[in-house]
Structure 1
Amino acid sequence: MRRYLKPLIWPILSGILVAVLLLNLFPQWFSSSQPVTQVVDYIQRETNSEPRPAPELREAVPFSRSSGPVSYATAVNKAAPAVVNVYSSRVVEREQHPLMSDPFFRQFFGEEMPRRQRMLSSLGSGVIVSDEGYVLTNHHVISGADQIQVALRDGRETFADVIGTDPESDLAVLKINLDSLPAIALGDSESVAVGDVSLAIGNPFGVGQTVTMGIISATGRNHLGLSAYEDFIQTDAAINPGNSGGALINANGALVGINTAIFSRSGGSQGIGFAIPVNLAREILDELVQHGRVVRGWLGLEVQEITSGLAASFGLNAAQGVIVSSVVQNGPAQQAGLRPGDVLLAIDGKPILDPRVAMADIADIEPGTRLPLKVVRNGDTLEIEIVAGERPPPSQR
């Protein structure tokens, strides 16, 4: 047997070696699966469909930092001389000693208890907006002040007169009498867009004039509870105590807002600051200079927002309009016959979608204007005509 197998050993070994060599060199000959391209072609032939075209992707525009300004020094040099420091002070009287608040000790002095005066001062900023010396600042910066001093960037200092204040927009107008005043150029806050570069100039913490940079984070911010009429520009340029009343400018050095408030849990800047748009500030400036007060339309009613539940109870299909919660005695609303519980749907044909927007629209109405109101009362829709009055100061409401 061995004699017969011996001649076959070498052919078998040679065949195995050849097979191993071919397997290493040409593995596709021995693969049981088809190549991917062959499988795709097979599927396409079977379904008789054309291959899908490659998606057209939008290529990014090449980014170049040289397309923007390397420095904002030109813009700052235009605007900064018009930004002033505002120092306000008032005298308060207080008792000589804490024991004087005790009735036992008070009986020995009667009404002539010893008192002493104390000077309270506050710090803010302002912006010179005209060659005549008018300065825009915040109402809360100079509220209750007995004396107001303004310091310019060029080192000059002077006392300022209050032309008028508007607590409901938190704006005030001062007047200084100096020669060659550097007035700032006013921009257009309607053209401000989210993402625009913004620079805040003021006197934070009393350290001296300071410039911070950021972008416009949002426009038209309201429902913040900062003032009665809110339409704020939001910026992440650092605004700190002392910046109030200062300038928010664009990259060209034009005024776009009056810095007013910050949202902060610590008292310092956290990247959420608010400025009054310059277009609104310009309107308030003109009103205060010409009339000494701001003339606004007024209907003499208080309203509350309507919810889905309240809408269903009033028989409304949707939560629209506002509910009249109260009317001012002898005010325009009461004279027109409006009652608490009425649902106010539209004013002068304009649907009411937001109470604050409606409040701002009413403020723009000239007192004495007759307006049609659309009202729902006890499920019935009524048309009521009202004559707008002039909004009284907060102290008289």
Structure 2
Amino acid sequence: MKRLFKRSAVVFVAVVMSLGTALAQDKVPSSKMEMQLSFSPLVQSAAPAVVNVYATRKVQARSRSPFFDDPFFQRFFGNGGIGQPRERVQRSLGSGVIVDPSGVIVTNHHVIDGATEVKIALSDRSEFEADVVLDDERTDLAILKVRDAKHPFPSLEFADSDDLLVGDLVLAIGNPFGVGQTVTSGIVSALARTQVGVTDYQFFIQTDAAINPGNSGGALVDMKGRLVGINSSIFTRSGGSNGIGFAIPANMVRVVAEAAISGNKVQRAWFGGNLQTVSADIAEGLGMDRPQGVLVTEIDPAGPAQAAGLQVGDLILKVNDNTVNSPDGFGYRFTTVGIGETVRLTILRQGSEKQISLKAVAAPEKPLRDEREIAGYSPFSGTKILNLSPAVAQELGLETSMTGVVISHVAQGSTAQRLGVKAGDIVRRINGEFIRNTKVMKILCDQKFRLWRLEIEREGKLIKTVISG
């Protein structure tokens, strides 16, 4: 019995050793090449097209004297000479990506917002002055062009960001904290992230590749060295990377870049209707086993949706072959199709699926915007006003069926700002008179009233107030 046990033990040890040898042969690298798995060839190809962006802006700062609030000094000097505005220079640092050999660069709007001077630096430390060709706040994208470019620049080609899958490897290249060009690796953590609060389109690639301040405008590249996104923001509680970064998909970036290269402004396809996310209750009411798609809640009689035969109550499931589950997702898919293209919608109507095609057209500017500035002593002093049209409403993120006069800009420190007037406010009445257009409003605002009775629509609510003249 003991001999049998010893023999069995010897056989067991021999099997384990031979199995271990086999596993070791399978898993341990057998050559130097196998040990040198590296992203370096990919980085060497992509990194030269990623640049540092230096933006300079001049701001008005009010110098504060320690005696400013002293009544004695105010008696002799008043406010003149004390606390007067002076010019101060602010500098910001970000990243950018060259997407055309002629020196066309994509970065974030928030990197160059308000800049009076922009410079870019290549990875070889050579510097160039650049002009802002296009600045689109709604997508948080800006397009720069190298001034007096004398030779072709390294550039990245666009990937189809719709081909990305969760789990795909990606690299983030940029200049975090101004320490110099840095590469981090990660995976695609999620797609079609919404409610991030950075752009109006609310449609992002999420990655765990480390993204930090200064990375904004940098490149997110795939394993073929193609641009899949522009790094835009991070979710953080400490100010550093927590492994949750967001990038604007390349398909949206391409639309903005192509508009700039062709010398046009960014045109967004006009749907001509309002949409709503499908909740569990709505899904149950429609006889669906789960929430999906977006519900058509309003149709503009003059819009493309009406012309295509869409109806209130239709459920849009897909734009072309892409599933949509939120108005933001629909807006992204619809916009990136491109003006002039035909869009195929898969809808659910009364329990049956059907296909509807509509042409992607730009929103019309009827009536003309007729921009005017309001000055003087009215409550709207310091504002710019526009006639509402589908195009203007789309630019300001309002419902495209709205009409009237809208506040498009409120100057810092103006009377209007102090009174709480906001961009996007629609002025309905002034002292009982209906505001049909900007001309009518300008005439009223040039008058001197002892009391101003105002009716303003903000986010669907009517605000009535009385202000002393």
Alignment of 1:1-397 (within 5 A): 62-63=26-27, 69-97=36-64, 108-109=78-79, 114-176=84-146, 177-186=148-157, 188=159, 189-310=161-282, 316-318=286-288, 322=294, 332=303, 342-346=312-316, 353-363=325-335, 364=337, 366=339, 390-391=362-363, 392=391, 394-395=395-396, 397=398
CA–CA distance in structure 2, aligned partners of residues 387 and 197 of structure 1: 36
Distance in 1 between residues matched to 2:47 and 2:342, nearest whole Å: 43
Distance 1:84 1:249 in 2: 14
The structure whose RCO (Cα within 8 Å, separation 6+) is larger is 1
Q: CA deviation at 1:280?
A: 3.3
Counterpart of 2:395, as a letter, is P
CA positional deviation for 1:76: 1.8
CA distance in structure 2 between the partners assigned to 1:366 and 1:123 by the alignment: 34
Counterpart of 1:242 in 2: which secondary structure?
A: coil
Q: 1:256 to 1:101 in 2, by over 3 A?
A: farther
- SS of the equivalent of 1:129 reads strand
- With the length of structure 2 as denominator, give the TM-score of the two structures: 0.58
Question: 1:217, CA displacement in angstroms?
Answer: 2.9
Q: 1:235 to 1:64 in 2, by over 3 A?
A: farther
For residues 318 and 234 of structure 2, the distance between their equivalents in structure 1, rounded to whole angstroms, comes to 36
Q: 2:132, 2:341 → 1: CA distance?
A: 29
Q: TM-score, normalised by structure 1?
A: 0.67
| Identical columns (%) | 40
> Is the partner of 2:172 in helix, strand or coil?
strand
What is the SS of the residue equivalent to 1:227? coil
How far apart in 1 are the matches of 2:87 and 2:145? Answer: 28
Shift of 1:223: 3.9
- Confirm or deny: 8 A CA contact 1:74 1:253 kept in the other structure: no
Which stretches in structure 2 are left out of the alignment for 5+ residues? 3-22, 351-355, 364-390, 399-469
For residue 70 of structure 1, what is the amino acid of its counterpart? Answer: L
Counterpart AA for 1:366: I
CA distances 1:126-150 after superposition (whole Å, capped 9, x unpaired)? 1122221111111221122111111
Q: Distance in 2 between matches of 1:263 and 1:82?
A: 26
After superposition, the Cα gap between the structure-2 partners of 1:331 and 1:86, relative to the gap in structure 1 and judged at 3 Å, is farther
Deviation at 1:185, TM superposition (A): 3.4
Task: Provide the secondary structure at the position in 1 that maps to 2:120.
Answer: strand
Q: 1:159–1:76: structure 2 CA closer, same or farther, 3 Å change rule? A: same
Contact 2:294 2:317 in 1 (8 A): no
Matched residue type, 2:339: E
